[in-house]
Amino acid sequence: MRRIILVALAAAGLLLPGCSSPPTAPSQLQHPAGLPVGVPVGPPGTQASGVMRLGLTEDIADAPALLGWQMGFFGRNLGKVTLEPALFSSTAAEVAALQHGLLDAAYLDPVAALQVWQTAPGGLIKIVAGAASGGAELVVAPQITSPALLQGRKLAAPAGGAQQAAADYWLRQHGLPALTATEASTSSDAGLLREFRSGKIAGGWELPPLDVQMAEAGGRVLVNEASLWPGGRFATKVLVVTQRFLSANPLAVSGLLKGQLQAEQFIAHDPISAKAAIGQRLTAMGNSLPAGILTQSFAQLTFTENPLPTSLLAEAQHAAAAGLLRPVSNLDGIYDLGPLNQLLKTLNPRVRGSSPWRRTRSDLGFYCPRSFFRVRFVHVVAPWLLARTDPAIRALSKTGRPAPDPGACAATPGRCVRRVPPLLR
């Protein structure tokens, strides 16, 4: 289930009556069936034992988290710390769990993270890394070709998050009434898609895969949010950790971060396998997606540990204008990037003194790109193995030419046959 906001974009700015749905109770914290929860993972190590309760949602923007869990990257780096993944069907439920002390870390919508930071005593959380950038689009009915045609029409956006803030900002720029929280309801993605197909709503400002599904259903992409940002980069998901857990378990937080970096590298170097793993995970959650939808959804997102602080400040200001946050002038207090920067310097000392995101990822210690096997194995290792096992190859002369085959030379005087395997030709 997901919370959405529906508004009538009337020329006079008339607000529809209604009331906001209460946030989902933290008791709705879910664990996917079939996977052990609360079982120690990872090899024995020097890290303190304990439990890390990690919140994540069913969004493709959470792909690094889903892969880190599914592929065991988190478990291998947490040592004796027990990983307890907690799956949520909405950001509102995830926020409620954080505020009630039911989570130690979570992958969150950036505006939701700022809401938790502003409303909880002492800040409660710190952003320790980014997770995803981009992806959001405004998809509308095919007959809507300009902002002016949205007058009097209904739109949908996830309530209280970055997409609502972005939609509100864009609508105001085009002289249209902003989205408000006075008309809220709950609906599944499938339900929202049905409403779009039936014409009950004119469109929605959504993340993948819902925006892709709406476009597949005949919708028109009126706005790709990336076009509104310098370089097309803006924060879509961030990783937050409670200050209490960060202070008590810094090694576990570093292990979590390294697992995310490995998941990002897996996506970058083997996207086909990564998409297949995410597809399996979503299917196990009851949210199966066609391969084409999954591929297009991945193409719209960039997975990065960079929290994109400049864009996050702008998103905070848009959210404040929409009434979702208190006004902010800087976000210095919400970050603790020390563990991430230290990890990146440890993994690649060449980045010392430079931006922590300017480094190669070949030294993360878990994955060799296919080019390694193509260059090193095919051209170096394979010939060496053949030379050790094939008598004809072992008889190669110092000039690199095969030694004559005596039988062939005897049968055909003045002519010898070379026995050269295909790999060496």
Structure tokens at 397: 């002369």
Q: What is the DSSP letter of 377?
A: I
312: confidence class by pLDDT, cuts 50, 70, 90: very high
Which of the listed ranges 28-32, 92-96, 188-192, 409-413 does the model predict with the highest average pLDDT?
92-96
Q: What is the mean pLDDT of the chain?
A: 77
Report the pLDDT value the prediction gives residue 96, as an integer from 0 to 100.
Answer: 94
Rounded mean pLDDT of 247-269?
95
**pLDDT: is 5 or 293 the higher one?**
293
Among 64-78, 154-168, 286-300, 397-411, the range scoring the smallest mean pLDDT is 397-411
Model confidence pLDDT, tens digit, residues 55-88: 999 889 999 999 999 999 999 999 889 999 999 9
Q: Which domains does the chain have, with CATH numbers?
A: 24-133+235-351 (3.40.190.10), 137-231 (3.40.190.10), 370-424 (no CATH)
**pLDDT above 70 (res 332):** yes
Look at strands 184-187 and 2-8 and give their pairing.
antiparallel
Tell me what pLDDT residue 388 has: 57
E strands, 89-170, are 105-108, 125-134, 137-140, 154-158
Tens of pLDDT, residue by residue over 19-69, are 333 333 333 333 333 333 333 333 333 345 689 999 999 889 999 999 999
- pTM of structure: 0.74
Check whether 334 has a pLDDT greater than 80.
yes
